[in-house]
Amino acid sequence: MRKTLATFRTLAAGALALAVVAGPAPLAQAVGEGPNYDGNGQITTSKLATYDQMVSFLKDQDARQSAMELEVIGQTVKGRDIHLVKYISDPAKPTILYLTQQHGNEQLTTEGALEFVKHLGTGKSEDILDGVNILIVPMLNADGAMGDVNFPLDDYLATGDRNMTRYNAEEVDLNRDHVDKVQPETQALHNNVMRKYTVDYMIDLHHQGTRSERDGKLVSGSILYPTTPNADPAVVEKSKQLGAVVFNNVDSTGWGHLGKYVGGSAETISRNGIAVEYDIATLLFEMRGMSDHYADGVALGLRSNGYLIQQTVTTLTATAAAIADGSIADADTSFWDSLATQTSRPGEEADGE
Ligand SMILES: [Zn+2]
């Protein structure tokens, strides 16, 4: 238990040290042409929280935080409990859902979400918790995250005590299962979160490859709203406002550099399907660099963990605050018209969304 918490403290300290000591200019450099670009540094899973460490951390926070509730919403193929973190002060207030790691090899989003949970317990977040209900489903695909799957991962590149894969234990891409909902992980999300709570906003957090760029500079991530023609235009506009809050808060940091993601219109993808089925404003956030992969140039090494975890914390904190104080309703969505779609440097074929 103590070791787990120490791990998270170290991660947080790393992110803060980057933000405070290095300052914006060197960090912008690190995001762009930094030491982890070619070869991408040491790619290892050993510094990432295991599923068990995550659960221990959540149970410990649940015991410390009176405003927090921890619920099990179902089990993975391999029987791991899937958790929902809840902060519900008043069901009449707006509600945002943060979803991480539908793809098991995209873990820094989860690390950031856990850091956010810790922040919510510090007392500095009372204004946020008074104004918005927050739901978090971290590590939906725990089997893929632990490499506990029914197919070989021999060609995956990361060192460490496990490999991590996009797919669930049955080799299904969970983010293509939001119409049929065949897999237990998808069923848990829809039956025990989407249909049980009135959710207004959702951010679906992912990682992409390492070589996407906007305006000639490597991105720290890219964002996109629902692009299915069946989404209610009012829902799409709210989604664009959610994206505006993220863009304004991340791109202005100096280390953040966001592009517009290239995503399909299929409703099997949560960004589209959840917007249509439940009229929820959704945003996809694709951070740079996966934690493990079989293809060269897709995974990103340890030295980038700090700013990518911080990017998650910034995203979650800023959006929850903007919903809590109502300022999201004034968010200017016109930046989407000029935001360049990301392009990819040669030598990479990353999985999409
Ligand atoms: Zn993904």
Q: Return the closest-CA partner of residue 111 out of 82, 138, 130.
A: 138
From ligand 1's centre to the CA of 99, what distance in Å?
11
Ligand 1 centroid to residue 124 C-alpha, Å: 31
Query: How far away, in angstroms, is 334 Cα from ligand 1 center?
Result: 27
- pLDDT of the chain, 353 residues: tens digit per residue: 333 444 443 444 334 333 333 333 333 334 443 334 445 678 999 999 999 999 999 999 999 999 999 999 999 999 999 999 999 999 999 999 999 999 999 999 999 999 999 999 998 888 999 999 999 999 999 999 999 999 999 999 999 999 999 999 999 999 999 999 999 999 999 999 999 999 999 999 999 999 999 999 999 999 999 999 999 999 999 999 999 999 999 999 999 999 999 999 999 999 999 999 999 999 999 999 999 999 988 999 888 899 999 999 999 999 999 999 999 999 999 999 999 999 998 766 667 78
Q: How far away, in angstroms, is 209 Cα from ligand 1 center?
A: 10
Fold for domain 2-343? Aminopeptidase (3.40.630)
Strands 201-207 and 343-344: unpaired
pTM of the predicted structure, to 2 decimals: 0.90
CA angle 16, 19, 25 (to 5 degrees): 165
The CA-atom distances, in angstroms, between 229 and each of 179, 203, 222, 233 are 16, 19, 21, 9
Residue with tokens 């995503």: 263
CA of 107 to the centre of ligand 1 (A): 10
Taking residue 234's Cβ as centre, other Cβ atoms within 10 Å add up to 10
**What separation in Å is there between the alpha carbon of 34 and the centre of ligand 1?**
23
Could you tell me the distance, in angstroms and rounded to a whole number, from the CA of residue 287 to the centre of ligand 1?
9
Distance 205 CA to ligand 1 centre (A): 7
Question: Ligand 1: distance of its center to the CA of 106 in Å?
Answer: 6
Q: How far apart are CA 196 and CA 242, in angstroms?
A: 22
Domain ranges of the chain: 2-343
Half-sphere exposure of 107 (CA within 13 A, CB side): 31
Q: What is the DSSP string of 148-213?
A: --SS--TT---BSS----SS-TTS--GGG-TTT--SHHHHHHIIIIITTS---EEEEEEE--S-EE
